[in-house]
Structure 1
Amino acid sequence: MSNQPRILVHDASEFHLTNGLVSYVIRANEQGKLLHLYYGAAVTDRDDFGYLVELQRRSTACCPVTGNLSYSLEHLRQECPEYGASDYRMPAVSIAQPNGSRLTNLTYAGYRIIDGKPALHGLPSSYVDDAADAATLEIDLVDTLINVTVTLTYTVFANLPVIARSSSIHNNGTAAVDIERVMSLSLDLPDDNYVTTQLTGSWARERSIVRHPLHPGIQQIGSLRGSASGHVHNPAVALARPNATESAGEVIGAALVYSGNFEAHVEVDAFAVSRLQMGIADFGFTWHLEPGEEFQAPEAVFAYTTEGYNGLSHAFHDLVRHHVVRGPWRDKERPVLINNWEATYFNFNEDKLVSIAAKAKDAGVELFVLDDGWFGERSGDTAGLGDWTPNKQRLPEGMGGLARRINDMGMLFGLWFEPEMVNMDSDLYRAHPDWVLHTPDRPMSHGRNQYVLNFANPDVVDNIFGQMHAVLSSANISYIKWDMNRYITEAYDVTRDERHQGEVFHRYILGMYELNQRLLEAFPDLIIEGCASGGGRFDLGMLCYSPQIWASDDTDAVERMSIQYGTSLFYPLASIGAHVSIVPNHQTNRLTTLNTRTNVAMFGTFGYELDLGTLTDEEFEQVKHDVAFFKQYRETIHTGDFYRLVSPFEIDPRRNGKTAWMVVSQDKRTAIVGDYAMLEHPMSPFSRLHLEGLDPQLEYQVEVIGGASTINGGIFHGDELMRVGMIDSDASTGSSSGEVDDANNLGDPHDFDSRLFVLTAR
């Protein structure tokens, strides 16, 4: 089969989306209901897949067709299920009508096939550069009584086992309606024999991998934090067969291209059908739709693979790299950066910043980033947010003076913003206290001494854009770190009446997206690195504007192994902000070697969060070597295929709690393996790493970086390294016997040790 996208139509009512990798088959039945027939590995097309529609008479079923006791929507797998006309499961759409009813009857009304992939109005979405790289199917479902149309949009891509789906609702009637629920994805699977994977955590321990088998009922994750998808649950889930591993087995994954309140749940019914739904959280959401108006829901993307969790990751990584991230930095090598925050906090002046940058330049660092404290009356976290003008006490020549000094060294210059927030002690708040999100006559909560600006108000977005545009126009600024450190409370939009208060969260996110878009249109070469108290808004929506996102405020190397391991399930290394920071670590107080901190941060967008001038001469020489090493291999790291080998979430204490992963270049001629030990244990057994993704026929020479190994310099075939495995129980992981033997003791083992293996095809 060809891997080009195709949409095959049978009798104008059955549709087969395929590209030789996956097939997705749907069909409108005689009653006009759009049914789901098949999703999985690609299958040969046939004229009629109707045999997959299964009907059976079941006691207690309610039946909408008079005299037909076998036809109940409760027992059919549907594309846009509705509640209340014989289906008692969660619906994909709920619309409140003028008479108070929420019952809809959406029936098939036609389709369109479009070459390529249309953009979504006001929302980020996946895209293609060439119309030949995607095919899009739009299907209209109409409720003729209230004259509302729901359009389901499906896109299949070339060479990817991925489908994008979204929903829009258009009011063609004469009366207003209120949308109370609209799911971007609703997928009915034929059984419940799946294990769910979710990425769960909190601030400083984002995206831990949590797995559990499906069970009858609803299992759900989500966010009601308003301004972000959140630290607690990431808007992405995987459903895998119980025998799936990192390298083999069926896995389905889905992610929402959205950064606000969301829900993702799986409902298992009494007949073992699993309904996966994903979209805007319906709690607190109502969208008032006047006649002639349309509401566009966010996009969801989902993938199918038989190659385990790593196969799922490869599908999503390729999708993000080629069809989500956009602009010049999609394909350019990202600069190695240094951020001053943990080196100085608020205690800096221009000369101090320049000295940090100069030392970093000597090490080969390419970008200096000035973090918080450069603006307004900002000497702590109680003042200044909202006043985006340089503080002349710290920066006497303004931003232009500092940027010129940095640029004159041959370095790029970057700047921190938190544009969605304001302190009460600011000129902006004093001038516009009504611009803060608040509920009239109710007390306001604060977080970090700051309040959330009402980005649902276009005047607020215009003001912040004007301030940021002025700063970015005043100097040669190549990068901004866009932070967001406060969730929404007391949500109310004082610019709109009571009919529109259920819209505030979504309108806020639309305003935030608009500001990103306007900045990139004005400064197309700008890198925007996303941040929300670290990884609180790490999602596909933000990656449409930010080619990289700060993975976590927790920079401890040991914690970062888990954070980056979990993040990699859906997001590529080129999107993961990862830096080397100070020790003792400021979040955990842990001491880890510069070698291990570096070996973890290498697998991301690499940089430093410290003053390199405080290092010893030996440490600084190591930094110079590490920066040069990363530059040599960053193309492989950022564009290669990433494989998780040993999970930090499944620790075997006999093997020192190891973690391991690797990345393989697209031509399979270069690979880099990260090998990490947690806590040393005596008398540990021998162990081997079974590598993945290599060319079995090629010979690879192995070089060890930042450690020692008996196989250093050895030459091995790819099949040998994958099937026999690579010895990793020597050197930095300790002597297996516990004896000290000068001939075999290649290095003194210690806790939190690590090394890299570089494999080069001969």
Structure 2
Amino acid sequence: MESPQRIDGTAITIVFDALAGAPPSLLHVGGKLPDDEDLHALRLAVRPKRHGSQPDVPDLATIWPQLGRGYLGLPAMALRRGMAALPSNLVLGSGARIADRSAHIELEDLVAGVRVLVDWRIGAGDVIRASATIINAGDTPLAIDRLVSIALPLPGWATYATRFHGHWAGEMHQDTTPIPHGRSGGESRGGRPGFGGANWLIAHNGGFSADHGRAVALHLAWSGDHETVIERDADGAILQMGARYDPGEIILAPGARFTTPDAVLAIVDGGRKEVRRALHTHVRSDVLIGRANWAPRRVHLNSWEALAFDMNEASLMRLASDAAAIGIERFIVDDGWFTGRRDDTTSLGDWTPDSRLFPNGLTPLIDHVTALGMDFGLWVEPEMVSPDSDLYRAHPDWCLHRPGVDRPTQRHQLVLDLAKPEVSDHLFGVLDGLLSVHRIAYLKWDHNRELFPNDGAGHNQTLALYALIDRLRAAHRNVEIESCASGGGRIDCGMLSRCHRVWPSDNNDAIERLRINRAWSLFLPPEVMGNHVGPSPNPITGRMLPMDFRAKVALFGHMGVEADPAAMSDADRATLAAHIACYKQYRDLLHNGTLYEIAFDDAGLFGTLIERDGKALALVARADMATDYNAGPVRFPGLQADRRYIVTFPLAGPKPPNGVAGQLLSGRLLRDTGLVLPLSRPATAWLVAFDQEDEPA
């Protein structure tokens, strides 16, 4: 690779350059260059020049940084043979293939006995999947203490970072700050990505907004622990992302190889709008299995907030009947259905229907649900075991533990060691038995505990989880799976490549969900995000919100209900049923359209518009009291300026918010000038529908 080489997507170009056999650096990461661009001239134009206090031959930040030739930053890998750290001097091998939409770059150090293969592949939405493979070319075992999936020297314009942090029931808080000098980042150590959000990140220029600015958005498609590092010095910034490994966790025998999980990378110009476009396209096209053939997303009712552990066959049948009466299409029995489970202190692992609750098993309940026109779903938490359970008493050695010391619990439970073949085989047998005997269309797969003590078990645990789900899906191809982990504790493209939706948060408070869903929607399309109408007052926040507001917020996602219709007033039940009918009317648009953020200067306002084939539906909602009586006009992005739209207000009742209902307005007016809506009171929400006329304005 003596001259610069490029790979191209539809609208992006990446140009690699290598001098003196070192790992390649990046000359260009951004918009599509002309096909005949002179890459030698590009090298002269943009390659940094040597400055004072540098090695005579500067070792610039590359796509695989390493120590030993004057680079003083964090290396992309840390290796050992025995107890001694293994230094390496990787140089470009002879097998580099860089062309079209992919780059395969071979690096080698024959003295250290190490080869590294770096792969970047451009897929749908111009999203890049990057990974690295390391090969032990020596004659003794090779320990990997650190190995990233991607090392990305950031473009000079990427001086800010938007990061995410959170906690249970308060996921995805968003912070935007200048990238500081020194080292910053985040990691997880609980065996799952966790609530810290460090596996989702956007590096961007100053002034980055809803539809302006350049950005690099990154994600690690991995359901175990991760590490993200941004390191900035006088020469610029480099971002590294990869799985986190404990020392001794990954040891390669001579000749063996190890491949990292993929890092997902989107390079955009056009603000948050383009981040969404790229990543939603990627998830729909390259992550979700069979997405093009999915059936419409059925409206759920989950039994948890309605009954919790106070369930039996009669109460569930009653709840199912009430659910069907308001238009529910899938009835899900949550925690509490299996033997001995009266509270959260017992029985995880004993996945058989409790005969005291279901004297004839689950079949009568399932028959009742299906006779009502709904399909049936079931909650499970297969990775966990209660110390008070038949499974634990029979196999106390099946959980992760340290011999001879106590076994600390979280939520009164321990973690099963899925890497033991006998454990995974047992779990497959139990779940396969449930799905084979019963008409179960849906599993809500929960994960309510951090992984401790893991002692180097995290990587194998994640691979074993993948293998278990893959095995189950192969045996039951029509069963949908939801990934939940105390809400948003394990949301990543590794799980999404095996599941049909995720649970963004255990918090169903509609005001909290406006913020949580807005952050998740930067990366995930709405059809994979469960979004439920919860009870009022909300069991987590205590907030009381009107049904109209709760239901409108729940429309923009995979809609469901987590409340008891019998506990609602007649008016609330009618309101909820009307919104469920509205969701069914618009769900093809909501789940296949392009999502736009409606931007406001007022932090108390939230807005989303989804457009497809000349139709659009928008949600505009206020979370708090307005500062002024009269809110400014709401401007609607995503509409074509040279078209006219009939404007309506679904579910607005007999009094639409202004006199424009049914009027024909130009896309330019709606986009640039907007509509005035009554938005002064908190917990106010409006749906606005746009239907394009046939001819241009």
Whether the TM-score (by the shorter chain) exceeds 0.5 is yes
Distance 1:725 1:52 in 2: 44
Distance 1:145 1:479 in 2: 53
- Deviation, structure 1 residue 114: 10
- Deviation, structure 1 residue 758: 1.1
Q: 1:546 to 1:31 in 2, by over 3 A?
A: same
1:270 paired with 2:201, answer no
Q: Deviations over 1:166-201 (max 9, x none)?
A: 111111221111111111111102426522111211
1:147 paired with 2:96, answer no
Distance 2:394 2:608 in 1: 52
Is the contact made by 1:139 and 1:153 (CA closer than 8 Å) also made in structure 2?
yes
Aligned partner of 1:107 among 91, 102, 106 = 91
- Deviation, structure 1 residue 77: 2.9
Distance 2:432 2:361 in 1: 15
Letter in 2 for 1:19: G
Using structure 2 for the length normalisation, give the TM-score.
0.95
- Deviation, structure 1 residue 342: 0.5
1:550: which partner in 2? 503
CA RMSD of aligned residues (A): 2.0
Aligned partner of 2:127 among 151, 156, 162 = 162
Q: 1:261 to 1:585 in 2, by over 3 A?
A: same
Is the contact made by 2:138 and 2:254 (CA closer than 8 Å) also made in structure 1?
yes
Q: 1:480 to 1:13 in 2, by over 3 A?
A: farther
Q: Deviations over 1:141-175 (max 9, x none)?
A: 111113221111111125x2211111111112211
- Deviation, structure 1 residue 721: 0.7
Q: Deviations over 1:567-594 (max 9, x none)?
A: 1111111111100011111111110011
1:90 paired with 2:74, answer yes
Distance 2:102 2:94 in 1: 14
1:466: which partner in 2? 429
Aligned partner of 1:30 among 20, 42, 51 = 20
Is the contact made by 1:146 and 1:173 (CA closer than 8 Å) also made in structure 2?
yes
In the alignment, structure 2 segments of 5+ residues that lack a partner are none
- Deviation, structure 1 residue 249: 1.2
Is the contact made by 2:287 and 2:496 (CA closer than 8 Å) also made in structure 1?
yes
- Deviation, structure 1 residue 13: 5.8
Provide the identity percentage: 32
Letter in 1 for 2:549: T
1:206: which partner in 2? 171
1:677 paired with 2:622, answer yes
Distance 2:45 2:475 in 1: 52
Q: 1:406 to 1:562 in 2, by over 3 A?
A: same
Residue range with higher mean Cα deviation, 15-24 or 699-708: 699-708
2:252: which partner in 1? 289
Q: Deviations over 1:677-732 (max 9, x none)?
A: 1223474344011211111111111111344311322321111111112222x3xx
Distance 1:337 1:114 in 2: 47
Distance 1:690 1:726 in 2: 7
Q: After the TM superposition, which residues 556-635 of structure 1 pair with which residues of structure 2 at under 5 Å, given as runs?
A: 556-635=509-588
Q: Deviations over 1:379-422 (max 9, x none)?
A: 11111101111111111221233222211222110000001100
2:605: which partner in 1? 658
2:64: which partner in 1? 80
Residue range with higher mean Cα deviation, 362-371 or 82-91: 82-91
1:759: which partner in 2? 690
2:54: which partner in 1? 61
Distance 1:81 1:631 in 2: 51
Letter in 1 for 2:231: E
Distance 2:287 2:74 in 1: 30
1:241: which partner in 2? 205
Aligned partner of 2:405 among 442, 456, 468 = 442
Q: Deviations over 1:482-530 (max 9, x none)?
A: 00000012223xxxxxxxxx3x111111111111111111111111011
Q: Match of 1:646, SS?
A: coil
Q: Deviations over 1:525-576 (max 9, x none)?
A: 1110110001111111111111210111000011111110111111111111
1:42: which partner in 2? 32
Distance 2:429 2:336 in 1: 20
Residue range with higher mean Cα deviation, 76-85 or 542-551: 76-85
Matched pairs, number? 686
1:334: which partner in 2? 297
Aligned partner of 1:356 among 316, 319, 324 = 319
Q: 1:511 to 1:552 in 2, by over 3 A?
A: same
1:704 paired with 2:649, answer yes
Q: 1:186 to 1:114 in 2, by over 3 A?
A: closer
Distance 2:61 2:120 in 1: 17
Residue range with higher mean Cα deviation, 278-287 or 82-91: 278-287
Distance 2:85 2:170 in 1: 44
Q: After the TM superposition, which residues 666-745 of structure 1 pair with which residues of structure 2 at under 5 Å, given as runs?
A: 667=613, 669-681=614-626, 683-707=628-652, 708-710=656-658, 711-728=660-677, 730=678, 733-734=679-680
1:187 paired with 2:152, answer yes
1:138: which partner in 2? 104
Q: 1:569 to 1:404 in 2, by over 3 A?
A: same
Is the contact made by 1:111 and 1:137 (CA closer than 8 Å) also made in structure 2?
no
Is the contact made by 1:439 and 1:491 (CA closer than 8 Å) also made in structure 2?
no
Q: Match of 2:72, SS?
A: coil
Is the contact made by 1:695 and 1:719 (CA closer than 8 Å) also made in structure 2?
yes
Letter in 1 for 2:608: W
1:743: which partner in 2? none
Is the contact made by 2:148 and 2:241 (CA closer than 8 Å) also made in structure 1?
yes
Q: Deviations over 1:229-276 (max 9, x none)?
A: 0112241100111122111111110111011111112111122x1101
Using structure 1 for the length normalisation, give the TM-score.
0.87
Q: After the TM superposition, which residues 296-335 of structure 1 pair with which residues of structure 2 at under 5 Å, given as runs?
A: 296-327=259-290, 331-335=294-298
Letter in 1 for 2:623: M
In the alignment, structure 1 segments of 5+ residues that lack a partner are 1-10, 63-68, 116-133, 493-501, 735-749
- Deviation, structure 1 residue 326: 0.6
Distance 1:47 1:753 in 2: 56
Q: 1:284 to 1:346 in 2, by over 3 A?
A: farther
Q: Match of 1:152, SS?
A: strand
- Deviation, structure 1 residue 99: 7.4
Distance 1:151 1:547 in 2: 32
Q: 1:53 to 1:110 in 2, by over 3 A?
A: farther
Letter in 2 for 1:223: S
- Deviation, structure 1 residue 651: 4.6
Letter in 1 for 2:195: H
Is the contact made by 1:641 and 1:664 (CA closer than 8 Å) also made in structure 2?
yes
